[in-house]
Structure 1
Amino acid sequence: MDFLTLLLVVLSFVLWHVIRLNLRPRRSGKLPPGPYPFPIIGNILQLGQSPHQSLAKLSKIYGPLMYLKLGSRNTIVVSSPDIAKQILQKHDHIFSSRSIPAAVRANDHFKKSVAYLPVDSQWRNIRKICKEQMFSSHRLDASQGLRQEKLKKLCDYVHDCCSNGQIVDIGDAAFTTSLNLMSVTLCSIDFAEFNSSSPQGTKEVVRSLMEVVVVPNLADFFPVLEPIDPQGIKRTFGRHISKIFAIFDDLIDKRVKSRSESPDHPVRNDVLEAILDYMEKKKSEMTLDVLKHLLLDLFVAGTDTTSSTVEWAMAELIRNPEKMSKAKNELMTVVGEKKQVDERDIPRLPYLQSVIKEIFRYHPASPFLIPRKAEVDTEISGYTIPKDAEILVNMWAIGRDSSYWLNPDSFEPERFLDREIDFKGQDFVLIPFGSGRRICPGMPLADRTVHIMLATLIHNFDWKPENGMPEQVDISDKFAITLHKAVPLKAFPIKL
């Protein structure tokens, strides 16, 4: 089908859809204020290249509860912690569903994904398994030694770069380490190598999958287009899922075979071993197919966000040498001169914890929480949220709001030293992992890996930015599902 024919088909579908919507009876109730939508496309053009910033500016005009029309989709944007609390806590049962992006319908992922399943018995079973078998303190303590090995590997890599006078792409090194910390915790193997450029490697497949997800999809703005997948996003996403599932199938088959052939097989302290043990006892609550979709969710959700947070933290610390010095001095005082920081050291490092909290506020890895969906028409702050509307919580806007933060456009970890604010879902000024029943199930692992990776990089090395001038480290961002640095952070490590 040539481009002109495709365009005519798309326009025909869209016009038919718009006419059909206009024939529906108007909803009762007062919608939140918002900018006037253009015909057919609505407010799509007002999103711009940086929707988190564009919507933050619009919220200053229209308020913290704002209505947009994005194509044919009703969208509500929340830009204050008070309204976020109403949505995510007070009315959590009404707003706990998800709108399903067209891409995740590939391979029926949405039917088995803990991120997109409705809150039903299947979802509850998976969440229970995550809490008890995967991310409990006991399970993570048992696998701590596996992660220490990956951190040593990161140290060795940076040390080699230091010896060779080689610059380090900190984002790429953090991504490789983050992927390996996840894979070794889940299944005791490395999924990535430093400086790997193999297009068939797991690291590259995961990255390719993420790159597909961030592309704006016409089928999401105009669901009537979903069957024809005009940009091919769903098809591409499906191909990448198949590649990752082939990797999962191989490692699961080998583990199952090893367990069946040798009753006295070596016990592994990873999640896969725990899940297989659990499946033998309660077969109805988990299948290998559901396990693969869960692993996919965890890798996609956890790897990029963790590495991005570490890269942002390193950028801000290199850019602010006095704050880097505070963090390093704390590590030296608490940890001493031993070469590796331990996960058990984290609770004794309040300044390091404050650095991470400040990054969650100032450079949130996910500028918008995963969108929710209204189950029924609901009144919030005197306005009606229409049924099936998509709810976007703009964490970037909340983190930059001077009503809640002093000097919001400055990197100041010290602000958290005297404030009892946590990021685990109860303080709505800082909810990088969400809140309520949909809070990220992998938060306990992410909490550990972000802190320990940053501590490893700054405790063992000094860092000199690529151009030699800390104040010129670029901190502009590039919008995607994960908020990346527009200019990758590269720096020379200096051995202490």
Structure 2
Amino acid sequence: MLLVFKFTRINKINLPPSPPRLPIIGNYLQLGTLPHRSFQSLSQKYGPLILLHLGQLRVLVVSSADMAKEIMQTHDTVFASRPCLTSTKTLLYGCKDIAFACYGDTWRQKKKLCVIELLSQKRVQSVQFIREEEAVALVDKIRQATISSDGCCTVNLSEMLLGTANSIISRCIFGKKYDGDGCRFGELGRKIMTQVSDFSIGDLFPLLGWVDVLTGQIKKFKATFEEMNDFFDSVIVEHKMSRRDSNKKDFLDILLQLQNDGLSEFDLTQNDLKALLMDMFLGGSDTTSTTVEWAMAELAKNPAIMKKAQEEVRRIVGNKSKIEDSDIDQMDYLKCVVKETLRMHPAAPLLAPRETTSSVKLRGYDIPDKTLVYVNAWAIQRDPEFWERPKEFLPERFENNKVNFNGQYFQFIPFGSGRRKCPGMAFGLASTEYMVANLLYWFDWKIPTNGTSLQDIDMTEKFGITVNKKVPLCLQPIPYNNFVE
């Protein structure tokens, strides 16, 4: 009788609503090619908290601001860990990085090290000269293209923005640029951001991990990892052999010194070091270029908004030969443009996945231990309950609006919130705002005159941890002539 009672209680667990699923594979086919959009559709039908079954993997999808607050604030500790999937385990040194490390003391120590040495406000300001120099290089590259084509050229802005973001972050981390001249550093970074979001058969069915070897997925992950790992090894050797100016230490110099002197709060192994390098590069490159890419695409589609932003930038900068940090601080409308871009096009629309560290009760539902959790920031930031005309690009909505992306307003969480909030927010914003300001100051931008209308600009997304444009953004730059040589 007692056994029957226990069995009955166990089976009365109250799970969140779940869409109908197929045998064995469960809801896997319902992910689609753009999961953030598929999840939004499912949430509109089944509610803001739904449980999907991907093979044997339980996935909780959160699609409302109040439920996001429950997870990132009320029960933050329970939801603060990360799943160690086949892709992240293979590509990120066994999840020894910050973004995908399990929650615990070692993760806290690594995060503290990176925040202090690379991502603090003081450090962000100290590398402003790098942002300035790379912005000048970008502007010169675009201007040379217009000169060589008698002013009637079209530039692949997506490609140029990725190159500039790569140069900024690689100089901050390694002390020099590594893109170009046959180096595939930037290309590898974007490939990793795509592959790290892939599920493998072993993730869905743990006993069938060997299938990933037969399909070649493990080989694909390892090939990408080994190429990036070889690059890191060569850069580390180069740093160890060179005598560097103690006043101009980059992030790698600092890590190597901490490793040699044993001054870090944890045992900083070679793989730990390379995992941190991977995080800093991936977090500071692809996300920045993607945000600027979407901002320029939306501005090109909305000429009146672009004109308003340009007028502000040009009024504040005047005839100076370069844009200064103090100028950016005064550009209120530009900041609204960036905010609206982050609202409509968060670089990581599902944020980084979380994993429960224990079972927990959430709004009356039982959430089991080891449940993978996606917070759909993309859907939350388009919720009509909080946002009027949510599908329209309207920077004015942020004028005289206290809502910010600092993690305190859960209807606007492009950088997440709580313990796993993105630590590189200040670093990424500084580069994003500075790049957009320079593009708007030095050039007018037009849609190529090939019969394309504003409505025809392809805004199709390409999914990965970061979601960039599937079709590169190609625009016609017209140099602004009110500048000092």
TM over 0.5: yes
Measure, in 1, the Cα distance between the counterparts of 2:83 and 2:24. Answer: 20
Cα deviation, 1:429-469, whole Å, max 9, x if unaligned, reads 11111111111122221111111111111111011112353
TM-aligned CA distance change 1:157 to 1:459, over 3 Å? same
**Distance between the aligned counterparts of 1:183 and 1:96, measured in 2?**
29
Q: Offset of 1:387 from its aligned partner?
A: 1.3
Using the aligned pairs only, state the percent identity.
Answer: 37
Q: How far, CA to CA, are the matches of 1:267 and 1:221 in structure 2?
A: 49
In the alignment, the residues of structure 2 paired with residue 284 and residue 376 of structure 1 have an alpha-carbon distance, to the nearest angstrom, of 27
Displacement of 1:246: 2.0
Contact 2:350–2:378 (CA<8 Å) still a contact in 1?
A: yes
Partner of 1:6: none
- Report the CA distance between 1:275 and its aligned residue: 3.1
Select the residue among 282, 295, 312 that pairs with 2:294: 312
Q: How does 1:424-435 map to 2 (within 5 A)?
A: 424-435=406-417
1:208 CA displacement: 3.2
Contact 2:86 2:199 (C-alpha < 8 Å) held by counterparts: no
**Residue 108 to residue 206, structure 1, CA distance change in 2 (3 Å):** closer
Q: 1-side partners of 2:35 and 2:92: how far apart? A: 29
Q: Distance in 1 between matches of 2:410 and 2:384?
A: 15
TM-superposed CA distance for 1:288, in Å, is 3.8
- Asked whether the 8 Å contact 1:143–1:269 carries over to 2, the reply is no
- Following superposition, the deviation at residue 377 of structure 1 comes to 1.6
Give 1:311's aligned amino acid. E
State which drifts further: 271-280 or 454-463.
Answer: 271-280
**Quick one: which amino acid aligns to residue 484 of structure 1?**
N
Structure 2 CA distance for partners of 1:329 and 1:394, relative to 1, 3 Å: same
| Partner Cα separation in structure 2 for residue 281 and residue 479 of structure 1 | 40
Distance in 2 between residues matched to 1:227 and 1:340, nearest whole Å? 56
Give the residue type in structure 1 aligned to 2:208.
L
Tell me the secondary structure at the aligned position of residue 52 of structure 1.
helix
Distance 2:338 2:301 in 1: 15
1:164 equivalent to 2:148? Answer yes
Counterpart residue number, 2:340? 358
Map of 1:417 onto structure 2:
399
* Paired letter, 1:221: L
Unpaired runs of 5+ residues, structure 2, are 1-6, 481-485
Q: What are the equivalent positions in structure 2 for 1:81-160 lying under 5 Å apart?
A: 81-106=65-90, 109-160=93-144
Distance in 1 (alpha carbons) for counterparts of 2:425 and 2:305: 26
Q: Secondary structure at the match of 2:130?
A: helix
* CA apart distance, 1:314: 0.3
> In the alignment, which residue of structure 2 is the partner of 1:188?
175
SS of aligned partner of 2:51? strand
Q: Secondary structure at the match of 1:109?
A: coil
Structure 1 53/274 Cα, relative in aligned 2: closer, same or farther at 3 Å? Answer: same
Structure 1 range deviating more: 102-111 or 63-72:
102-111
For the 8 Å contact 1:147–1:185, the answer to whether it is kept is: no
- For residues 398-477 of structure 1, what are the structure 2 equivalents within 5 Å? 398-466=380-448, 467=450, 469-477=453-461
Q: Distance in 2 between matches of 1:208 and 1:116?
A: 17
Whether the 8 Å CA contact 1:68–1:74 is kept in 2: the answer is yes
Q: For residues 96-124 of structure 1, what are the alpha-carbon distances to aligned partners after superposition, in whole Å with 9 as ceiling and x for unaligned?
A: 11111211222771341112222222111
Normalised to the residue count of structure 1, the TM-score between the two structures is 0.88
Cα distance in 2, alignment partners of residues 274 and 422 from structure 1: 33
Residue 382 of structure 1 deviates from its aligned partner by 1.2
Name the aligned partner's letter for residue 64 of structure 2: S
Partners of 2:92 and 2:343 lie apart in 1 by 34
1:41 aligned residue (22, 25, 30): 25
* Structure 1, 326-335 or 112-121: larger mean CA deviation: 112-121
Moved more, 45-54 or 447-456: 45-54
Q: Cα distance, 1:407 vs. partner?
A: 0.3
TM-score, length-normalised on structure 2? 0.90
- Alpha-carbon distance between aligned partners in 2 of 1:108 and 1:325, rounded to the nearest angstrom: 43
Residues 345-381 of structure 1, C-alpha deviations (whole Å, 9 max, x = no match): 3221111111111111111211101111112221111
**Structure 1: runs of 5+ lacking an equivalent:** 1-22
Look up the SS of the partner of 1:462 in the other structure.
Answer: strand
CA displacement at 1:277 relative to structure 2: 4.0
Q: Secondary structure of the equivalent of 1:431?
A: coil
Structure 2: distance between partners of 1:475 and 1:288: 41
Rounded to whole Å, the distance in 2 between the matches of 1:482 and 1:380 is 28
Query: Which of 189, 192, 216 is the aligned partner of 1:206?
Result: 189
Q: Deviations over 1:162-198 (max 9, x none)?
A: 21233211111111111111111112211224xx7x4
Is the Cα–Cα contact under 8 Å of residues 146 and 188 in structure 1 kept in the other structure? no
Distance 1:399 1:226, change over 3 A: same
Distance 2:17 2:306 in 1: 43
Match of 1:282 among 248, 253, 263: 263
1:61 maps onto 2:45 in alignment: yes
